[in-house]
């Protein structure tokens, strides 16, 4: 690991109250002391206690003021990276932060690579690999539920669970080795105990993978396409779900000609709602392009909301659109304007043409049925997955691969118990431990470490 001092802007670009320039490495405090001039005498950084704030100025080589700043100090090992750290709190805005960073780098401090601060925290034992991956999930969280899961991972809940599985395999391996090396003292291998320990780990892996499927939904979200013929209320539905006027709504068919996409939080799930162009036969070239895009978006969506209008009645166009939709289990049928006294669509019509499809009778204008729609979206997303209240984990793709690998090794031992020589069983147990060790970072190779932190932004 490089022992040089690194620096970067840790706050997002743009205007704001403050921006933070972060510096880490042995000698960081002494370096920044060279360009920091405190407002009060005797407040030079080298004389300050850790975890204090000092007001002063960053000055350039000609003693001109770069910015008025507050500087915080953290001493190794009690810092985010485990090294000496300085955080310069300057005025927000791109120029002030940029000038402060340039002055810092002029001291021979190197610009940090993406994720390098967190990578140093990992290499210095402040966090493990699973916790490091949680940092990026926290940054990217789209809903409170996704954030809560990522914070649990950062807190170490996932790592504790993985350790319990490791402990079971270690105990099983210890029994195996004792039986091999000290058979006269300990007797024959307790196969039932070994099987019990390994099965607990195997079940734990399955539970973690299952929970990870649901975690992916809270982390990555789903896509929902709103479709139907023109002028049935698709754009009104988008606006109702968003709680704001995002799409133009008129009585003119074909108003929406391109895809309109927005994210909305539906019961803790980040949902990308796609309002599509009304599907119909048209000679308008621009509208045709919009309809083609709509069909592709509908094909790619996780769920589809097909909108009908009781005032317009059910037409052959509605039925044709429905028949062309693939994977009917993805479909939610929303029958709009149910508040009208005169309805040209009856429940018998729906049962005849849309048998087996989930139906919401709604009035988008009167906000009737929108809550039921949100509940149905959640129910469809969660179908076949663990109860959301029991969810404990988010699991990255890297973690999934290693969990599956460890599970396969354990399964091979379980199937081979009492059938193959004991030393052969030990090889697979060690392989399972190695896979779990790579999960938390104990056995990670350098290229794997780099891959984890490559997704981070500079300054984190």
- How confident is the model at residue 163, as a pLDDT? 93
- Confidence category of residue 59, pLDDT binned at 50, 70, 90: very high
Task: Give the CA-trace dihedral at 181, 182, 183, 184, to 10 degrees.
Answer: 140
397-416 and 422-440 helices, crossing angle to 10°: 170
Q: 3-state DSSP call for residue 120?
A: helix
- How confident is the model at residue 183, as a pLDDT? 59
- How confident is the model at residue 255, as a pLDDT? 46
State the pairing for strand pair 65-74/85-91: antiparallel
Distance CA(225)–CA(220), nearest Å, equals 16
pLDDT at 446 over 80: no
More confident residue, 187 or 441: 441
pLDDT at 290 over 70: yes
Torsion sign (Cα): 195, 200, 206, 209: negative
Determine which of 24-38, 92-106, 262-276 has the lowest per-residue pLDDT on average: 262-276
pLDDT at 186 over 60: no
CA 427 vs CA 47, 200, 336, 441: distances in Å:
56, 19, 63, 21
Q: Tell me the percentage of the chain whose pLDDT exceeds 70.
A: 91
- How confident is the model at residue 280, as a pLDDT? 64
**CATH architecture entry for 221-382:** 3-Layer(aba) Sandwich (3.40)
pLDDT at 397 over 80: yes
Q: Which residue in the block uniquely carries the two structure tokens 């000055």?
A: 59
Q: 3-state DSSP call for residue 429?
A: helix
For range 195-213, the mean pLDDT? 91
For range 149-160, the mean pLDDT? 89
Best-predicted range by mean pLDDT among 111-115, 251-255, 289-293?
A: 111-115
Distance CA(395)–CA(336), nearest Å, equals 39
pLDDT at 384 over 70: no
pLDDT at 391 over 70: no
pLDDT at 402 over 90: yes
Cis before 77? omega within 30: yes
DSSP label at residue 227: E
For range 162-190, the mean pLDDT? 80
State the pairing for strand pair 260-266/85-91: unpaired
pLDDT at 281 over 80: no
- Confidence category of residue 145, pLDDT binned at 50, 70, 90: confident
More confident residue, 63 or 257: 63
- Residue 125, C-beta contacts closer than 8 angstroms, at least 6 positions apart: 82
- Confidence category of residue 261, pLDDT binned at 50, 70, 90: confident
H or E element, residue 254: none
Structure tokens at 456: 């981070």
- How confident is the model at residue 253, as a pLDDT? 47
Q: 3-state DSSP call for residue 93?
A: coil
- Confidence category of residue 116, pLDDT binned at 50, 70, 90: very high
Strands, DSSP E only, in 310-414? Answer: 331-336, 358-361
202-211 burial string, b = 16+ CB within 10 Å, else e? bebbebbbbb
Determine which of 121-125, 164-168, 273-277 has the lowest per-residue pLDDT on average: 273-277
Determine which of 77-81, 180-184, 315-319, 437-441 has the lowest per-residue pLDDT on average: 180-184
pLDDT at 390 over 70: no
> Across all residues in the chain, what is the average pLDDT?
86
Q: Which fold has domain 133-217+396-441?
A: 1.20.120
How far does the chain reach from its first CA to its final CA, in angstroms? 17
Residue 403 near residue 208, CB atoms below 8 Å: yes
For range 348-366, the mean pLDDT? 90
- How confident is the model at residue 252, as a pLDDT? 43
Q: 3-state DSSP call for residue 217?
A: helix
- Residue 181, C-beta contacts closer than 8 angstroms, at least 6 positions apart: none
Distance CA(334)–CA(78), nearest Å, equals 56
State the pairing for strand pair 6-9/18-24: antiparallel
For range 104-117, the mean pLDDT? 94
Distance CA(328)–CA(285), nearest Å, equals 30
For range 342-367, the mean pLDDT? 89
- Confidence category of residue 25, pLDDT binned at 50, 70, 90: very high
For range 374-380, the mean pLDDT? 91
- How confident is the model at residue 382, as a pLDDT? 84
- Confidence category of residue 24, pLDDT binned at 50, 70, 90: very high
pTM summary value? 0.74
pLDDT at 249 over 60: no
- How confident is the model at residue 181, as a pLDDT? 64
**Yes or no: domain 6-128 corresponds to CATH 3.30.930.10:** no
370-382 and 234-242 helices, crossing angle to 10°: 80
Other C-beta atoms closer than 10 Å to the C-beta of 284 total 11
Domain ranges of the chain: 6-128, 133-217+396-441, 221-382
Q: 3-state DSSP call for residue 286?
A: helix
pLDDT at 420 over 80: no
pLDDT at 296 over 60: yes
């Amino acid at each position: 690991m490089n022992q040089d001092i690194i620096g970067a802007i840790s706050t997002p670009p743009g205007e704001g109250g403050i921006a933070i320039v972060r510096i880490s490495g042995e000698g960081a405090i002494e370096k920044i002391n060279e360009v920091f001039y405190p407002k009060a005498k005797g407040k030079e950084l080298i004389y300050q206690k850790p975890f204090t704030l000092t007001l002063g100025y960053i000055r350039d080589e000609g003693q001109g003021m770069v910015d008025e700043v507050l500087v915080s100090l953290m001493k190794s090992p009690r810092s985010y990276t485990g090294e000496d750290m300085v955080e310069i709190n300057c005025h927000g805005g791109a120029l002030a932060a940029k000038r402060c960073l340039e002055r810092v780098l002029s001291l021979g401090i190197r610009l940090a690579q993406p994720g390098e601060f967190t990578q140093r925290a990992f290499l210095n034992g402040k966090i493990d690999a699973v916790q490091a991956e949680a940092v990026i999930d926290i940054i990217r969280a789209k809903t409170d539920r996704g954030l809560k899961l990522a914070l649990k991972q950062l807190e170490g809940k996932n790592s504790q669970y993985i350790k319990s599985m490791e402990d079971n395999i270690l105990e099983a391996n210890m029994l195996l080795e004792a039986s091999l090396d000290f058979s006269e003292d300990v007797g024959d291998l307790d196969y039932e105990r070994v099987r019990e320990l390994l099965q607990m780990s195997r079940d734990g892996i399955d539970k973690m993978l299952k929970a990870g499927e649901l975690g992916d939904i809270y982390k990555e979200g789903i896509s929902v396409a709103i479709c139907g013929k023109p002028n049935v209320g698709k754009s009104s539905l988008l606006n109702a779900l968003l709680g704001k006027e995002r799409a133009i709504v008129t009585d003119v068919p074909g108003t929406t000609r391109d895809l309109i996409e927005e994210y909305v939080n539906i019961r803790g799930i980040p949902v990308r709602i796609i309002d599509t162009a009304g599907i119909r036969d048209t000679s308008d070239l621009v509208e045709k392009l919009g309809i083609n895009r709509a069909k592709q978006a509908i094909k790619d969506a996780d769920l589809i909301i097909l909108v009908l209008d009781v005032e317009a009645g059910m037409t052959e166009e509605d039925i044709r659109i429905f028949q062309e939709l693939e994977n009917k289990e993805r479909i939610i049928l929303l029958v709009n304007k149910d508040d009208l006294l005169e309805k040209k669509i009856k429940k018998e019509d729906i049962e005849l043409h849309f048998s087996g499809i989930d139906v919401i009778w709604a009035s988008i204008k009167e906000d009737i049925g929108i809550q039921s729609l949100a509940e149905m979206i959640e129910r469809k997303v969660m179908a076949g997955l663990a109860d959301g209240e029991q969810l404990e984990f988010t699991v990255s793709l890297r973690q999934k691969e290693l969990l599956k690998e460890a599970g396969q090794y354990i399964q091979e031992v379980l199937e081979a118990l009492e059938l193959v020589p004991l030393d052969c069983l030990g090889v697979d147990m060690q392989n399972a431990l190695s896979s779990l060790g790579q999960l938390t970072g104990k056995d990670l190779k350098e290229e794997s470490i780099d891959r984890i932190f490559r997704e981070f932004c500079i300054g984190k």
